[in-house]
Every structure is written in structure tokens, then in C-alpha cells.
Amino acid sequence: MDTDLQLTRRKKINKNSKDDYKTINRAIYSQFGISILVFFLIVSVVFSTTSLVLGFSYGLLIAVLISTGWLTYHLLQIQKLIFWLKYPNFNLSPPVLGPWNVIFSSLRNLFQRSESDRAELSKRLAAFKRLTEGMQDGVIVIDKYNQIMLATAKAEIFLSIKSEQDKGKNVVNIIRHPGFSEFLKQRNFQQSFFIEDLTIENKALEIKLVPYDEQEDLLICRDITELKKLESEKKDFVANVSHELKTPLTVVAGFLETLKDIPMSEEKKIHVIDEMLKQTDRMTSLINDLFLFSKFNNKKSVDQLPSFNICDLVEELANEAKKKFEGKLITKVLKNSKSVFYGEKADIRSAFWNLINNAMMYTNCDGLIEISWSVENNGECVFYVKDNGIGIEAHHLNRLTERFYRVDDDRSRNSGGTGLGLSIVQEVASKYGGKLAIESELGIGSKFSIRFPLDLLKIDEKYNDEKI
């Protein structure tokens, strides 16, 4: 879409057309002038000669016949011209002599040139459509009256435009949005117009006006729904992090002022210091989780990933849980295991431990917790943690992986939770092409599963159907 080239070409076409018209006009005037002079000269000579030889009456008759023939010839040429203008084609045979030769020859040349320009325009239009169809943005071509001349498929989808029906309509009548008409009037090519309340799939669009040539402009429509969503999530994330850090900092600051201003016994001081340590531990956990988020990269191919024995990791985590949460019955199942896993061990450990830790926090002291790693018949390897704890109400399940979302704020904070655990699990699962599945029933218990693709594993016959 070379605007300068299009503009230069249009000026050239206009100049050629004007030159052609001038040439035709000069030729017609000169040819008709000569033709009339010759006609009168012939009629005068014939009339004079015939009158002298045959008499005045015969001379007048012959002059009238010649004039009638001359007029009939011109009428036939005019009829031929009218017919050709209705049904133009290249098979126009101009007369040999006279002004009609110039007229028909010039018209044929104009027609041929017009057909050539039309073919080139169609070729350029087809190329333009092919180019725009490969774009993620929608494009609308409008004239100087804001009438729609062309809309690409993407623009049709974004703005519910039907090219055939809406061609020639004012684009303002299609995009009915406050401020859009004023945006077009200003013709500010540096600014964009935003529409954020489209009813179609709740999309948000950025529309930019771009000059095309003297008579036409382009409206570039870009889908910015995901960008707006990311901006909103960023604001929410910053606000949540600020809140999560502000709360423990406020508690620590309060304890420090208490220690400074109020005398107290050693026992109370130790208690205050312990509470401060809990709050600093909470901030440390939050910062560690945020740091972990920052390390998540795009998915890599298997041959680029390190490997480790995942069965050893599951055993290690199960033993760590038994030591940390004494009194709870922990069952570990390694079934049909293919134990060499391709991935970052720190990522997998963090995801698995978050699921185990959640089960421990929301299960009673005498509860049962099952930790399992297995390969299923459908070709997926599955790690799951199942408990018979308090369970989760159904309306919470879809939001559990949102950052800082908590079912029970007080219980989560008292247990040291940051509100990022399941978000981290979700990120780890996505990074390795897996999926997190959550099943829970209030008062019955919960089951959290991560399903990984089988190509992340390598067969190791060391383990086979082990239950402890």
C-alpha cells in the first residue's frame, strides 16, 4: 500500500485523460470545420455546374440529394456511436476519412486504456485483499465522504460489517459509538480511537485512521482484548501484591513501636519477636513465590530440558510431609511409573509441594491424604493429591487458580499461605504442556491432579506398582 505510488499514478491517469480529451476536441473541431467547408464547396460547384447545364431545378435537386446523403451519413455514424457507447468493445471499425475517424479511433484508444487500467486495478485489489487477509488487523477502505468501499474479512468480523450490503454506506452508521464521528472529522492520523464495550464476545478494539490517497483513507481495526485484559490483570496484581506486603509490614512496624515505647517482660518480648518473625516469613514466602513467577519461560522442546528421577522426588516430598504434619496418614502410590522426567526439578517440586501443602492445611489432624504418581492408559502421566478434608464449595472452583484468590482469607493467612500456590501450579502445568484439574465436594474432600504429556518421561523399570 504505497500511498505515494498510488497518488502519482492517479495524477498521471488524470493528466493523460485530460490530454486525450483536448486532443479529441481539437481534432473534432478541425475535422468538422474542414468537412463542412468541403461539403459546401462541393455542393456549390455541383449546383452551379448542373444549373448551367440542366437548369436551376435540376441543380437544386442534385444539391438537396447530396445534402441529404451527407446528413444521412452523419446520422448513421451518430447511431453507431450511441450503440457502441451502450455496448463498448474492441471491434470498432472507424470510418476511413473525416472527423468520425478521429472520434472513433480516440474512443477505441480510451476504451483500451480504460480496460488496461481496470485490469491493473483488479490485480492490485486482489493483491491488496491477499495482503490484508494475512493480517491480524481488519482494514476498511473509505472515501472522502466516509462511505465504505471495501472491508476485509477481519474487519467484517470485528465490526459486524457485510461488504456486499454495506458497500457505499457511511461508516459512521455502521460503527455507532460516541465520539467516532468526531474522530473521523478531525482526521488526526497520530491518535487512535478505542472501543471497549463491544457486545460481540466482549471485545475491545483500537481503530486508527491512515491516509491512503487523495480520495480514500484506511481504517485499521486491531483487536486489543487480550492487551486490555493483561493491563487489568497487571493493575490487579500490583494492587494485590501491595496489599499482601502492606499487611505484614504494618504488623511489624506496630510491634517495633511497641518494643520501643512500652516496657515489657522478656516473655512478652519473645512473643512479640515470634510474631514479627511470622510476618517476615510470610513476606519472604510471598517474595519467593513472586520470584518463581518471574522465572517461568515459554515451553521448550524435550531435548532442551534437564531430566531427573521423578519417583525419587515424589518419595522425598511424601517423607517431608510426614515429618512436617505428624498425625496425618499419608499414602504414597507409584503406579506403572516411568520415572525419568524431562523438566526443571525446582518447577515440578514447587507445583507438587503446593498441592501437598494445601491438602495438609485443609485436612483435619486425623485426616487421610493420598499422593500418587502414575501413567494412565490414555498416554498421560498424572500426579494427584487427594484428601478427605473440609472440601471446597463448587462456586469457588473456577477461581482457585487466580492470583491471590482465597476461599478463606483468615485461615490461609494464619497458615502462612500467600494466595499464589495454585497459580504457580497452573503456570508449571502450562509450561510443560500439562493441565491442572480440580475436583472437590464440601465436607467430603478434594482431589488436585496435574496431567503431563507422556513425551516428558523416559522408561525406567526400577519402579513398578509400589504402595507405601
Q: Which domains does the chain have, with CATH numbers?
A: 3-126 (no CATH), 134-223 (3.30.450.20), 232-295 (1.10.287.130), 302-467 (3.30.565.10)
Q: Strand ranges (DSSP E) for 116-250?
A: 138-143, 148-151, 192-195, 205-211, 216-223
- Cα–Cα distance measured from residue 249 to residue 430, given in angstroms and rounded to the nearest whole number: 33
Q: What is the pLDDT of residue 5?
A: 41
Give the pLDDT score at 299.
57
CB 171 within 8 A of CB 249: no
pLDDT tens, position by position, 87-110: 766 566 666 566 677 777 777 777
pLDDT score for 384: 92
Whole-angstrom distance, CA of residue 424 vs CA of residue 350: 8
Per-10-residue mean pLDDT of the chain, 468 residues long, equals: 45 52 62 64 71 71 73 74 70 64 74 79 74 78 86 84 83 85 86 76 83 84 84 75 76 82 82 83 77 64 76 88 76 69 87 88 83 81 89 84 71 59 86 89 90 78 46
CA distances (Å), origin 360, targets 86, 268, 330? 88, 31, 10
Name the one residue in this structure whose C-alpha cell is 480516440: 106
Q: SS3 breakdown of the chain: % helix, strand, coil, rounded to 5?
A: 55, 15, 25
Identity at 375, one-letter amino acid code = V
Instruction: Output b/e per residue, 37-57; b: 16+ Cβ within 10 A.
Output: eeeeeebeeebeebbeeeeee
- pLDDT, tens digit, for every residue of 193-204? 888 766 556 778
The DSSP result for 11-22, as a single string, is: HHHHHHHHHHHH
Query: What element of type H or E holds 37?
Result: helix 3-53
Note if the pTM is more than 0.75. no
Q: What tens digit of pLDDT does each residue of 348-406 get?
A: 888 898 899 888 888 887 788 899 888 877 778 889 999 988 888 888 888 888 877 77
